[in-house]
Amino acid sequence: MIYRTLAGEKVSQLGFGAMRLPQIGGKIDEKESIRMIHHAIDSGINYVDTAWVYHNGTSEDLVAKAFKGGYREKSFVATKSPVWLIEKDEDFEYYLDRQLENLQVDCIDFYLLHALNRGTWASCKKHNAIDFCEKMVKKGKIKHFGFSFHDAHQVFIDIVDAYNWEFCQIQYNYLDRKEQAGLDGLNYARSKNIDIIIMEPLRGGNLVEPLPETVKELWKTAGKQRSAVEWALGWIFNRKDIGVVLSGMSTMEQLVENLAIADLNGPDCFTSAELALIDKTEELYRQNTRIGCTQCGYCMPCPSGVDIPRNFKVWNELYMFGKSETARGAWQWIDAPVRADKCTKCGVCVSNCPQQIAIPDELANMVTDFAG
């Protein structure tokens, strides 16, 4: 295992994400999950990531069980504050104390304000989240604190500029270089000496299966043959300025494969030709999109409240990833009031679209596509 630095701590470059643990009947398969976490730690992983909300609130309890028998002493534990549940300042410590009980620890090594966006960041500021975290460090309940993020680039910049953060966690992979925080956000955070945790390196599995035939053919031209997982993880491990890369592994087979990749791929593991091949791979994925929306936002605001760019982004990804179940499930992540099916076909957006897209008709086509 290759180790890096995160908030001054020596951490494995591959972290174990406890968000997609194996299940039986819709509940965590405890025996197999514990076996996987033990194997991960025995193989050199020393960073286990969980959260209040994972697996309907049972992930932290499972991690506590896996840490018995000396495994807690071999690994850092990271979990996250459910900031969307905070209604008053005191709620932060209420949930933290519950999490300490769930994890059966006296101190959480890495504590994150979870999934910050414009709204939850405003709430965090209102309820003095940073002051709370600083006090908890002094009390010894947490060791390091930072935040995870899901929103637009400028929101990320605003949060980064608000405090001297030790670390942050962002979604990043070779298709998300311009999404959310993106590459520019990553570089900006590093310029502020903020360490980086990467989540969704495989984009929820979409960069593994199904692979477009054009991508398969392109990869055959590479001098060194790699699996889809190795292309995706290796591309991130190639960077020198990354701390931990989290992978939510659901099977022992996935864990074993990821461990092997993490053992063999570190900073500068890709040649310039391989990096160029990944750039071409991104181009091929984006050629499979359904509609020519550039996300410019000129169609907004919609009188009916529809988030037109976001809907079209999700629709394009449905085609980009071969109509996979994961891509199809993204429809559920769009809040109901802003989904495509709320379009009233008023037509206000059409004249504002630089691409001259028949937006109301295409939104209707999208609804049909996702219903099919």
Q: How confident is the model at residue 3 (pLDDT cuts 50, 70, 90)?
A: very high
* pLDDT, position 297: 84
Query: Does the pLDDT value for residue 2 go beyond 80?
Result: yes
Residue 359 pLDDT grade (very low, low, confident, very high; cuts 50, 70, 90): very high
Measured in whole angstroms, how far is the alpha carbon of residue 112 from the centre of its chain?
13
pLDDT at 317 over 90: no
Long-range contacts of 214-221 (CB under 8 A, 24+ apart): 214/284, 214/287, 215/281, 215/284, 215/285, 218/277, 218/280, 218/281, 218/284, 219/277, 219/281, 221/277
Residue 330: is its pLDDT beyond 90? no
Fold of 3-279: TIM Barrel (3.20.20)
Average pLDDT over residues 324-352: 88
Residue 151 pLDDT exceeds 90 = no
Boundaries of every domain in the chain: 3-279, 308-371
Is 206's pLDDT higher than 90?
Answer: no
Q: What is the pLDDT of residue 351?
A: 86
Tell me what pLDDT residue 355 has: 84
Contact 277, 269 (CB under 8 A): no
pLDDT of 312 reads: 93
Average pLDDT, the chain: 94
Residue 333 has a pLDDT of 83
Q: What is the pLDDT of residue 9?
A: 98
Question: Is the model's pTM score more than 0.75?
Answer: yes
Helix H, strand E, coil C: the string for 59-100 is HHHHHHHHCCCCCHHHCEEEEEECHHHCCCCCHHHHHHHHHH
Please say whether the beta carbons of 267 and 208 come within 8 A. no
pLDDT number for residue 103: 98
